[in-house]
């Protein structure tokens, strides 16, 4: 089923730790749907790790990667925030925020060593978060009689749509997912299948994440 590809991002929040020369780097990677959401995540990490030597943030947001920002948070200029930002961009990821927390271990790493350490830690967290393609979709929530359930499943198997969830009560509640441009066609298919007896309880646009293999 062809969903319209929008951009590449990460699947979920993840963190990873890297220790070098007694300095401890804890990288936190999270999806962020907007710069505001990214900044909120940064402030939460800084509050949680306020005893750390540095909390270095970087984010890329927007379907076209148009919102990009990073800070060295007290590290020498260009040694931390920008290398992490370049890493995110080089992987063509967006709607992603990364904060690398550092606890200084007493041994200086040098500018090149700092850049490599921050980049490595961030890469570990991004790897742990998993990469996905984000595609647009329509979500249709139907209520229908049990007698139509097997036919609905058969119709889905033919590739017209996905059944994302089913709830069983006195009737069947089915959550249908399909490409956004196919919404009207799928509604017509379900109306024909049930003779117009299926009730469309909710309809909304959504973004669907599909893991990259």
The per-residue pLDDT for range 93-127, each reduced to its tens digit, is: 999 999 999 999 999 999 999 999 999 999 999 99
Mean pLDDT of the chain: 94
Q: What is the pLDDT of residue 1?
A: 47
Does residue 24 register a pLDDT over 70?
yes
The pLDDT, as a whole number, for residue 208 is 76
Predicted confidence (pLDDT) at residue 164 exceeds the cutoff of 80: yes
- Mean pLDDT computed over 25-39: 98
Q: Is the pLDDT of residue 213 over 90?
A: no
The pLDDT of 63-77, averaged and rounded, is: 97
| 58 pLDDT above the threshold of 70 | yes
- In this prediction, residue 35 carries a pLDDT of 98
- 3-class secondary structure per residue, the chain: CCCCEEEEEECCCEEEEEEECCEEEEEEEEECCCHHHHHHHHHHHHHHCCCCCEEEEEEEECCCCCEEEECCCCCCCCCCHHHHHHHHHHCCCCCEEEEEEEECCCCCCHHHHHHHHHHHHHHHHHHHHCEEEEEEEEEEEEEECHHHHHHHHHHHHCCCCEEEEEEECCCEEEEEEECHHHHHHHHHHHHHHHCCCCEEEEEEEEEEEEECC
pLDDT higher than 90, residue 137: no
Q: Is pLDDT at 206 greater than 90 in this prediction?
A: no
Average pLDDT score over residue span 13-33: 97
Whole-prediction pTM value?
A: 0.77
């Amino acid at each position: 089923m062809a969903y319209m590809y929008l951009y590449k991002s990460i699947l979920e929040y993840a963190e990873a730790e890297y220790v070098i020369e007694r300095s401890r780097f804890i990288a936190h990677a999270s999806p962020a749907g907007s710069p505001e959401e990214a900044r909120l995540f940064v402030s939460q990490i800084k509050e949680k790790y306020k005893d750390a030597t540095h909390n270095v943030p970087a984010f890329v947001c927007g379907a076209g990667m148009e919102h990009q920002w990073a800070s060295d948070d007290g590290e020498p200029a260009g040694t931390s925030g920008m290398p992490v930002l370049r890493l995110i961009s080089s992987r063509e990821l967006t709607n992603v925020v990364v904060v690398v927390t550092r606890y200084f271990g007493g041994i200086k790493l040098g500018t090149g060593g700092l850049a490599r350490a921050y980049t490595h830690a961030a890469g570990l967290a991004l790897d742990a978060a998993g990469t996905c393609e984000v595609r647009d979709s329509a979500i249709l929530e139907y209520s229908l009689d049990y007698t139509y359930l097997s036919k609905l499943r058969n119709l889905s198997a033919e590739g017209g749509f996905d059944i994302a969830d089913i709830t069983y009560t006195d009737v069947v509640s089915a959550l249908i997912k399909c490409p956004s441009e196919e919404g009207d066609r799928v509604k017509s298919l379900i109306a024909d299948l049930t003779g117009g007896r299926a009730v469309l309880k909710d309809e909304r646009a959504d973004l669907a994440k599909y893991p990259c293999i």
